[in-house]
Structure 1
């Protein structure tokens, strides 16, 4: 998924504010699933939502206003009720990795009760080969 850095993404120093990368990762996860035929909204309507339960983030370099960025997402692990992804924010112009993270999500039903991952999600996660 590619997108441009806007003024609203930057801090007083003119670089992308660190917390914005978490939002970029979120968009990347949604688009990653969409490209595999799944809708986060439809999964939620079926009683499956995916809160983040763990995240590690390494900030390697800064993005600035008007940079074209790309979020890359790859599957690391798929469990019964959880899955983990590696995500990277890369500057499209030169391919430089700016931010890299690992995120673990758990599947819950309404009331935040854990549940098994839906079969269609397991299939989509296990069939992936590389970033998306």
Structure 2
């Protein structure tokens, strides 16, 4: 399994008064990377939503290791760690060059329109399973 890579440039609007990336923006960066990853796998999230199923993040465990600053070029690496019938766990690392500056473990599930967890659709599970191998 190879990591999905997503590049991010830090803009002025991403920083706080100290000139470093505001902590909540790392969650935005990893969300964008996950969305890009599933899109590249062939998962059409609009079609899922129209069918009454959406991805929901259930849990994130994050660690801030170093700071990023205005104009830094970052890479978000996303790897699928676990896959079951109803959930998937991804490891994500934000790096500046080779230096990890933020890590997260993200647990996601699918939910129906009533807000209840549902099994991953078979075609999506197959896409993810292929990426896991």
Same fold per TM (> 0.5)? yes
Could you tell me how far apart the structure 2 residues matched to 1:18 and 1:64 are?
A: 12
| Structure 2 counterpart of 1:81 | 86
* Cα distance between partner residues in 2 of 1:119 and 1:18: 36
User: Which position in structure 1 is the counterpart of 2:103?
Assistant: 100
Please state which structure has a larger fraction of its residues in strand.
2
Deviations 1:13-61 (A, max 9, x none): 0000011001111101000111111122222122211111111001111
Residue of structure 2 equivalent to 1:115: 118
2:30 aligned to 11, 25, 29, which one?
Answer: 25
Higher helix share: 2
Structure-2 residue corresponding to 1:41: 46
User: What secondary structure does 1:50 align onto?
Assistant: strand
RMSD: 1.3
- Where structure 2 has 5 or more consecutive residues not aligned to the other structure, the ranges are 1-5
Deviation of residue 112 (structure 1)? 0.3
Query: How many pairs are equivalent?
Result: 128
Provide the TM-score with structure 2 as the length reference. Answer: 0.91
- Structure 1 residues without counterparts, runs of 5 or longer: none
